């Protein structure tokens, strides 16, 4: 898979980014590749989705036993390949990255109008593989997506005092960020696109066997944080 970015050139910006290490890369993949992935994306009403509806999230997540069309399935496999791992290691400085063959919590995601995902820190431990979660990679698939539709990925500071970056989920926009107990992110504002549109993305999580001592904590699930008065 050809990637249109130089990880070594991006690395200083990634490691020095605030509120935590991250980067936004437009056009990382060939448009033709993601056109095929988008064409293979399951519709909201298909059985490929598990529906999450609570005070903290309203979204569709992939049922991992559900079959996918070839172009989307191949993309998931390719994102676990050595060239991708080497690219991410060169970008982030995190060595020994391990993909998750079970796609726990990862894979295709879709959010319908009115959906949201409150700001949170991710689960930090893979209970089956017994590995530390270190990295998220999100690929957005939304063409002709104006600001007023919303669905921005928000990055919040570690004290949860405010959002420091809002990222519109545009087609062929990739976001990579380090996952720790204080890498707070989400899109807490309900999606305001027309009913016939949805916010589509594919997510990938990467792990290591161990992590820096200053990042260690007891294994935990997703930790949601309140951003506004009246949140759940």
Cross-strand bridge partners of residue 51: 60
Q: How confident is residue 232, by pLDDT bands cut at 50, 70 and 90?
A: low
Q: Is the pLDDT of residue 229 over 70?
A: no
| pLDDT average, residue stretch 60-84 | 95
Write down the pLDDT at residue 230.
Answer: 58
* pLDDT tier, 227 (very low <50, low <70, confident <90, very high otherwise): confident
Q: How far is the C-alpha of 201 from the C-alpha of 43, rounded, in Å?
A: 13
As beta bridge partners, residue 177 has 22, 136
Q: How far is CA 49 from CA 67, 91, 96, 139, in A?
A: 11, 32, 31, 18
**pLDDT tens digits along 210-226:** 999 999 999 999 999 98
Domain ranges of the chain: 7-210+219-224
Q: Where are the alpha helices (DSSP H) in the chain?
A: 7-16, 31-39, 70-78, 82-92
pLDDT level of residue 120 (50, 70, 90 thresholds): very high
Calculate helix-pair angle for 82-92, 7-16, nearest 10 degrees.
50
Half-sphere exposure of residue 115, counting CA atoms within 13 Å on the CB side?
24
99 sits in which H/E element: strand 98-99
Report d(CA 91, CA 15) in Å as an integer. Answer: 9
The Cα 41–Cα 60 span in angstroms is: 12
Q: What's the pTM? A: 0.96
Confidence band (pLDDT; 50, 70, 90) for 83?
very high
Give the residue among 104, 115, 106 at the shortest CA–CA distance from 52: 115
How much of the chain is in helix, strand and coil states, percent to nearest 5? 20, 30, 50
Is the pLDDT at 199 greater than 80? The verdict is yes
Query: What CATH number is given for 7-210+219-224 in this structure?
Result: 2.60.120.620
Percent of the chain at pLDDT exceeding 70: 98
């Amino acid at each position: 898979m050809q990637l249109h970015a130089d990880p070594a050139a991006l690395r200083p910006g990634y490691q020095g980014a605030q509120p935590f290490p991250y980067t936004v890369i437009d056009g990382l993949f060939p448009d033709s590749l993601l056109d095929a992935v988008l064409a293979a994306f399951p519709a909201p009403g298909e059985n490929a989705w598990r529906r999450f509806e609570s005070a903290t999230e309203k979204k569709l997540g992939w049922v991992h036993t559900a079959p996918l069309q070839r172009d989307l399935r191949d993309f998931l496999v390719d994102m676990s390949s050595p060239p991708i791992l080497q690219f991410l290691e060169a970008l982030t400085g995190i060595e020994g990255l391990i993909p998750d063959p079970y796609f726990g919590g990862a894979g295709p995601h879709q959010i319908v109008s009115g959906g949201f995902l409150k700001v949170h820190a991710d689960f930090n431990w893979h209970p089956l593989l017994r590995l530390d979660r270190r990295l998220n990679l999100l690929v957005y698939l939304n063409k002709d997506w104006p600001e007023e539709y919303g669905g921005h990925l928000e990055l919040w500071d570690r004290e949860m005092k405010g959002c420091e970056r809002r990222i519109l989920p545009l087609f062929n926009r990739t976001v990579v960020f380090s996952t720790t107990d204080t890498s707070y992110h989400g899109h807490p504002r309900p999606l305001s696109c027309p009913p016939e549109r949805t916010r589509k993305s594919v997510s990938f999580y990467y792990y290591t066997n161990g992590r820096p001592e200053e990042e260690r904590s007891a294994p935990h699930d997703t930790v949601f944080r309140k951003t506004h008065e009246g949140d759940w």
